[in-house]
Structure 1
Amino acid sequence: MKAVCFKAPYEIEIQEKDIPTLKDDEILIKVSAVAICGSDIHAYHGRQALFIYPRVIGHEICGTVEKINNPSSSFQLGDKVVVIPYSHCGNCIACKKGKPGCCEELKVMGVHVDGGLAEYCAIKECYLLKVPNTIDSTSLSLVEPLAISAHAVHNAKVQAGENVLVMGIGPIGMGAAEISKTYNANVILADISEERRAFAKKTLDYSNVLNPLDETFKQDLATLTKGNMPDTIIDATGNGKSMSSIFEYLSYGGKVVYVGISSTPLTINHVEFHKRQTELYSSRAATRYDFEYVINCIHEGTLNPNLFITDIITLDANIKDEFKRLMDKSSAMFKGIIAL
């Protein structure tokens, strides 16, 4: 079978590998589509700190069940499935608290271990979810990043009628905005990229889209929230300056969730943080509940992942050139899909 491997920064190799031999409780998946994650882009450019080369990439995966090595399996051949790409130990303090996303031994496919950008992959049954046959593969390949977004929104305990400010409208931030809308929250978006702001307005029909570098940014937030400022801020920028400064834009008694990761230390104005009695959360990975919530939203039509997709390529003889083209598009590619 073919698999896409990053040999080194800027070096892509299409490898021929054996179809995986199944271990106990594993299921062989014929991969249908894999979405390109920001971590894949960082790894391509040599900026993914956790990435070890060489590595088969891909963790936003959907496919169909091809073979089962469990006589009592709840899956059947031909089932459409989505992969939960994070493995956890089940024994550490985080796992015992029911928080597998911060497991001490967490491993992510395509980052710590080989991923699913291949014609087939073997997955333990506990990391698979069956999905309705009516949902198309391109939508299903975006379930994982949308589950990351859903986890951030769930951590924020967003309520109907709340004002939610999403800082950074890449795929994760935009997903957080779309998930917040399923809770009937009032969503405000902010990004310094004119391209991303235009995408949110034109493609996803948002009207309250601001530039945080504008001198009127704080006043605009006050106007949109009737003077109260946002009840919740979800920061998906990964920018240390943004993450450090957002407390002055928060309502009193408000909540902040960091879903982006800063590579630099944060310096927080404690007065602004303290006088609001701010609730501060970090959000990592996603739970089975988050995946199920996203799948249900897609099935019910309250979430349309295909609006995120700007590029689709196929796993064929041209994939190296096509993949490099997408890597060089930067923010012009909102979400890219590799179809198999």
Structure 2
Amino acid sequence: MKALVYEGAKKAVLEEVEEPKKREGTVKLDIKYCGICGSDIGIYLGTHPRAKAPLVFGHEFLGIVAEDGQKFKKGDRVVPFPLLSCGQCRACRTGNEHVCNTLGLIGIDKDGGVCERIYVDENVLYKVPDGISDKAATVIEPLAVIVRAIHQSGFKTMDTCVVIGAGPIGMLTGIVLKFAGASKVFISDVAAKRLDQARAFGLIPVNPVKEDLEQVVKDATDGEGCDTLFECSGAAAAAMQMTDITRVSGNICIVSVHKAPHEVMLRDVNFKEQHIVGTRVYTREEFKEAVELSGLLEEQLEQVVTHVVPLKDSEKVFDMIADGACGTIKVIVDCQDR
């Protein structure tokens, strides 16, 4: 069968691989769509600390059950909870398997879903509710990341919020905040097409090259700053600015993984008694919540998917994402168009 395989730094190759083999407790899936995530970009660039070539990309996939299993029937649409936890470390023993000391993921630590078929353990699969489109269902996994981030953040209804970075995670954060009752959601990015889409979602776009984000937010909040800020860019400038933008006793949630040490104005954290919290992936309960939430946000999730690439052309997907002129937000691969 065909699969998109990481073969080394900047080498994503569509090639023939062995058919997957059934193991006890698994069910066969025909992959419909698989989303491309920031972690896939890191793998492609050769910077991911764990991914080893050869490796089939992809953990954000929608599958169609190809044979009756113990829990699922042929034809069911399912998405995987892709986390791989050890079950032994302190995090796992205390109910925090999602931040296991040796946490792994399908598509990073074992072959993923940018392929025609795969066998997956039934106990990690969630059925997609009837009526939700395939495109929207493919965004359930990143949506679960946002559910976790909002739970971690201390967000309250009617908060004024700032999202730094309008990539897929930042855009989804803004969408969910709006749905959850934020009074205003500012979102910053330098990509004009992303800001236009953010405006269509009812968010307040800010281009920091043209406007002073801090001043825009303070003008809208009587000089106080936002209640809750979500850092989704991973940029050094954002790390330095986030405490200025956030009010006294405000909340800052670090959603993006900062790959290098960045300066943070810790004096602000002291003087303004701010709360900074990290977030990583999601719990099983939060993944289940994302499955349910997808039905309420179907239209927005579909619009986040800006590009669908056939599997036969999937070798080009990383160049497409890197090309700002393409205006990508979320790119998914159609694994049945081969």
State whether residues 150 and 175 of structure 1, in contact with CA within 8 Å, keep that contact through their aligned partners in structure 2. no
Counterpart CA distance in 2 for 1:101 and 1:303 is 29
Deviation at 1:98, TM superposition (A): 1.9
Counterpart CA distance in 2 for 1:246 and 1:134 is 40
Distance 1:120 1:245, change over 3 A: same
State whether residues 182 and 302 of structure 1, in contact with CA within 8 Å, keep that contact through their aligned partners in structure 2. no
Q: Does 1:132 align with 2:126?
A: no
Counterpart CA distance in 2 for 1:287 and 1:293 is 10
Pairwise mapping of residues 230-249 of structure 1 onto structure 2 (< 5 A)? 230-249=226-245
Counterpart CA distance in 1 for 2:298 and 2:220 is 24
Counterpart CA distance in 2 for 1:145 and 1:52 is 23
Partner residue, 1:255: 251
Partner residue, 2:24: 24
Partner residue, 2:309: 313
Partner residue, 1:34: 34
Pairwise mapping of residues 159-174 of structure 1 onto structure 2 (< 5 A)? 159-174=156-171
Deviation at 1:27, TM superposition (A): 1.8
Partner residue, 2:11: 11
State whether residues 243 and 258 of structure 1, in contact with CA within 8 Å, keep that contact through their aligned partners in structure 2. no
Q: Does 1:332 align with 2:327?
A: yes
Counterpart CA distance in 2 for 1:176 and 1:313 is 24
Percent of paired sites with the same residue = 25
After superposition, the C-alpha distances for 1:50-97 in whole angstroms (9 at most, x for unaligned) are 33222110111011212355xxx3322221101111111222111223
Counterpart CA distance in 1 for 2:6 and 2:209 is 36
Pairwise mapping of residues 1-340 of structure 1 onto structure 2 (< 5 A)? 1-67=1-67, 73-186=70-183, 187-201=185-199, 203-206=200-203, 208-213=204-209, 216-301=212-297, 304-316=300-312, 318-320=313-315, 322-323=316-317, 325-330=319-324, 332-339=327-334, 340=336
Distance 1:241 1:234, change over 3 A: same
State whether residues 204 and 307 of structure 1, in contact with CA within 8 Å, keep that contact through their aligned partners in structure 2. no
Deviation at 1:16, TM superposition (A): 2.3
Q: Which amino acid aligns with 1:105?
A: T
Counterpart CA distance in 1 for 2:85 and 2:220 is 42
Q: Which amino acid aligns with 2:100?
A: C
Query: Where does the alignment leave 5 or more consecutive residues of structure 1 unmatched?
Result: none
After superposition, the C-alpha distances for 1:298-324 in whole angstroms (9 at most, x for unaligned) are 2134762111122112223x443x435
When normalised by structure 2's length, the TM-score is 0.91
> SS where residue 263 of structure 1 aligns?
coil
When normalised by structure 1's length, the TM-score is 0.90
Deviation at 1:21, TM superposition (A): 2.1
Q: Which amino acid aligns with 1:64?
A: I
Deviation at 1:236, TM superposition (A): 0.5
After superposition, the C-alpha distances for 1:87-124 in whole angstroms (9 at most, x for unaligned) are 11222111223222211121112222211111111212
State whether residues 6 and 12 of structure 1, in contact with CA within 8 Å, keep that contact through their aligned partners in structure 2. yes
> SS where residue 247 of structure 2 aligns?
coil
State whether residues 29 and 120 of structure 1, in contact with CA within 8 Å, keep that contact through their aligned partners in structure 2. yes
Counterpart CA distance in 1 for 2:122 and 2:240 is 41
After superposition, the C-alpha distances for 1:148-183 in whole angstroms (9 at most, x for unaligned) are 122111111322101111111110011111111221
Deviation at 1:36, TM superposition (A): 1.2
> SS where residue 197 of structure 1 aligns?
helix
Q: Which amino acid aligns with 2:223?
A: G
Counterpart CA distance in 1 for 2:148 and 2:331 is 22
Q: Which runs of 4+ in 1 moved over 4 A?
A: none
Counterpart CA distance in 2 for 1:315 and 1:217 is 40
How many positions carry a matched residue from both structures? 333
Deviation larger for 293-302 or 227-236: 293-302
Query: Where does the alignment leave 5 or more consecutive residues of structure 2 unmatched?
Result: none
> SS where residue 242 of structure 2 aligns?
helix
